[in-house]
Each structure stands twice: as C-alpha cells, then as structure tokens.
C-alpha cells in the first residue's frame, strides 16, 4: 500500500533522505521512529507527493505519487504535524470546508462528515467551535478531516505530540479500528516507547537512513539479550572476573556472591563463546548451574524405574 525505493533528498549539503526503501502492506500499523531532524517529515512529504525527491520513487496503493498524483491522493489521508487554525469555524463547518476542497458536496458530504465524526468520537462536538476543543479533540478532528474521502492509507506526522496519555490511548484505539477495517496506517514519532502496543511494524530512521525496517517482533528480537549464569572457580580475584565480563559488553545482573553469577549480554552464541574464552584464558574456572528441568526429569525417570538413556 505504501512503497518507496531508494529515495534521495538533499537540502544543500544535507542528505535529508539517503536511500530510503519502504514496503507497507494493508492492515499494518507502521511506526516511523527517529530523533528530531532524522528525516521523518521529509519522507512523509515525499510519500504524500508534496515534495519531489532528487531520485527514487514512491507509490500509494500502487499509484506513483508524482506520475499518478490524483489517484494516489484520492487513496491517501494525510495528517500533517501542524494544525491549521480555523478558530471561527465549528467542527462541522471545518469538515465541510475540507470536504468541499476535496470536491465533495451535498448529501454524500453530510453523510461522510457524520461517519467521520462518529469514527473519531466527536459527534457530540459538531457544533462547538474548533478553538474550544482540547488538544486531544483537535487531533481527532484533524484525523476526521482525513477520513472524509474514505482513503485506504493514512499517513500521520507525529500526531501524539502534545497529547496526554489518556488522549493518546484514545487516539491509538481509533487507529487500531482503522487497521482492523483493512486500512493502512503510517505514523511517525520521535519516541519509540510512545508507539508500543500500537504498531505492528517499525522503521527506524536516522540521518535520512533506515537503520531497521520490519515487524515489531523482529525489532524486539534484534535487541534481545541473553542471560548467562556461571560460578567462577579458582583463585582469580572477583574484581578481575568482573573486568573480564564487562570488557566484552556483558553486564552483571545482580551481585556476585557465592551463588551463580548472572551476566546479561547480546543474544548471540559467538558473544557467549568469546566470554567463556576470555575467562578460561585468564585462568578462571567456570562452573555451570544445573538445569533444573533435567534434574527433575532424571529423578522422575529413576524413581519410576524407566530407562534414563
């Protein structure tokens, strides 16, 4: 539903986008995460057809955002990172204005406004002035505006900024509802934690480059750690053993006492092997803890007289 290949965009010497690829499918909630200045808004402006990249291409629902601009736009709902001020309009007038700007009128527009307001839970506020809305309601109104022409793809630039936790959760709930109906949601944030529990897929962007793009599970796996337990045996002083552990990037979890030590490290066989090598080379004996389940199983098998082998 959203595709991009090798997008490049420079502002003078600055590479705002440096070879960005994307492939977002229907029903996904894709979180674009990166610090301020990473290139999130630039990428979004390219995807929405508002900014022409130096090279590369992008499409929405299979329509090239530049060559088939109209088709792409019709399938896209875009919520920018700022909210235009139309203080003297009521919620309904505000939506009428944007509906008319997108070429709708009469009954279809009126019905669409009702449906959009229901979807963002603002039905009761339709005759209120826009400037009387809370920040959370303002953001929901901005989302309602993108719903009017019933697009397939939603691109939202940092919609949670300035929302309190309750307002944010309500907003997430509305977005989840859209995804359940098969819509595609693309949302940016500079805070990974903020999107936890919402996104199904994640792209990590920094200095215009995608450092990671994949499912939320894959991301969690990529950052996974492993806990290794052992007891040093022999005469090497504890401080020296601590030094050997931390040298390889390991972190001691808990205080080394006469119980087993616990080291948190990358979930990677080679890192674990390197730790063992380092310890053994320094003359540290390594005693491993018994595996509780095996002992139970063996005891059970022995007690029941079954063959252990």
Binder of ligand ADP out of 41, 139, 146, 189 (CB under 6 A): 41
Partner interacting with residue 37 (select from ligand ADP, Mg ion, none; CB below 5-8 Å by kind): ligand ADP
Point out which span in 34-42, 56-64, 162-170, 244-252 binds ligand ADP (CB under 6 A): 34-42
Q: Do 94 and 133 touch, CB atoms closer than 8 A?
A: no
Stretch that binds ligand ADP, among 30-38, 139-147, 161-169, 258-266 (CB under 6 A): 30-38
Among 5, 8, 19, 37, binds ligand ADP (CB under 6 A): 37
Of 67, 42, 23, 28, nearest to 183 (Cα)?
28
Taking phi over 0 as left and psi of -120 to 50 as alpha, with beta for the rest, 106 belongs to left
d(CA 5, CA 22): 7
Largest CA distance in the chain: 87
Distance in Å, CB of 194 to ligand ADP, minimum = 14
Find the binder of Mg ion among 3, 28, 41, 138 (CB under 5 A). Answer: 41
Contact status: 39 vs ligand ADP (CB under 6 A): yes
**Which of ligand ADP, Mg ion, none interacts with 42 (beta carbon under 5 to 8 A by kind)?**
ligand ADP
DSSP state for residue 35 in the 8-state scheme: -
CA 220 – CA 193 distance, rounded (Å): 12
Options 34, 53, 151, 159; binder of ligand ADP; rule CB under 6 A: 34
Decide if 281 contacts 223 (C-beta within 8 A): no
- Give the range of 35-43, 118-126, 129-137, 293-301 binding Mg ion by CB under 5 A: 35-43
- Chain centroid, CA 246 distance in Å: 31
The continuous run of DSSP H or E covering 228 comes out as strand 225-233
User: Are residues 297 and 291 in contact, defined by beta-carbon separation less than 8 angstroms?
Assistant: no
For 259, other C-beta atoms within 10 Å of its C-beta total 11
Total residues in contact with Mg ion, by rule CB under 5 A: 2
Q: Which stretch binds ligand ADP (CB under 6 A): 29-37, 118-126, 140-148, 266-274?
A: 29-37
- Return the axis-axis angle of helices 106-119 and 91-101, rounded to nearest 10°: 120
* Binding-site member from 11, 70, 107, 239 for ligand ADP (CB under 6 A): 11
Inter-residue contact 146 to 77 (CB < 8 Å):
yes
Distance CA 261, CA 282 (A): 17
Number of residues that bind ligand ADP (CB under 6 A): 11
Residue from 24, 40, 216, 284 in contact with ligand ADP (CB under 6 A): 40
Q: Which residues in the 10-29 window bind Mg ion by CB under 5 A?
A: none
Residue 36 makes contact with ligand ADP by CB under 6 A:
yes
- Of the candidate spans 9-17, 87-95, 168-176, 283-291, the one that interacts with ligand ADP by CB under 6 A turns out to be 9-17
Q: Are 133 and 125 in contact (CB under 8 A)?
A: yes
Contacts with Mg ion, 101-120, as mask; x by CB under 5 A: --------------------
Q: Closest separation between CB of residue 258 and ligand ADP, Å? A: 51
Q: Cβ 162 to ligand ADP, closest distance in Å?
A: 15
Phi, psi of 19 (to 5 degrees): 80, 55
| CA–CA separation, 20 and 4 (whole Å) | 7
Binding site for ligand ADP (CB under 6 A): 11, 14, 16, 34, 36-42
Binding site for Mg ion (CB under 5 A): 40-41
């Amino acid at each position: 539903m959203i595709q991009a290949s090798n997008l490049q965009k420079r502002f003078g010497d600055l590479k705002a986008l440096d070879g960005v690829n994307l492939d977002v499918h229907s029903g996904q909630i894709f979180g674009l995460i990166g610090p301020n200045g990473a290139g999130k808004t630039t990428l979004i402006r390219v995807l929405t057809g508002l900014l022409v990249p130096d090279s590369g291409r992008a499409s929405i629902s299979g329509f090239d955002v530049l060559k088939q601009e109209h088709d792409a736009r019709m399938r896209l709902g875009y919520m920018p990172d700022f909210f235009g001020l139309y203080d003297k309009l009521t919620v309904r007038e505000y939506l009428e204005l944007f509906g008319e700007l997108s070429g709708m009128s009469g009954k279809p527009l009126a019905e669409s406004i009702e449906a959009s307001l229901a979807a963002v839970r603002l039905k009761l506020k339709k005759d209120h002035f826009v400037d009387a809305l809370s920040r959370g309601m303002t953001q929901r109104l901005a989302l309602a505006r993108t719903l009017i022409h019933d697009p397939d793809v939603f691109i939202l630039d940092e919609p949670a900024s300035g929302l309190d936790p309750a307002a944010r959760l309500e907003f997430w709930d509305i977005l989840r509802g859209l995804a359940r109906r098969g819509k595609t949601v693309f949302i940016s944030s500079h805070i990974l934690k903020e999107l936890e529990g919402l996104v199904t897929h994640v792209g990590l962007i920094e200095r215009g480059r995608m450092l990671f793009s994949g499912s939320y599970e894959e991301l969690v796996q990529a950052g996974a750690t492993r806990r290794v337990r052992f007891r040093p045996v022999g005469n090497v002083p504890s401080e020296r053993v601590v030094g050997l552990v931390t040298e390889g990037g390991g972190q001691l979890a808990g205080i080394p006492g006469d119980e087993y030590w616990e080291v948190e490290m990358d979930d990677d066989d080679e890192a674990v092997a390197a730790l063992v090598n380092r310890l053994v080379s320094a003359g540290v004996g390594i005693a491993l803890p018994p595996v509780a389940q095996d002992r139970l199983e063996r005891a059970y098998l022995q007690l029941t007289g079954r063959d252990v082998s």
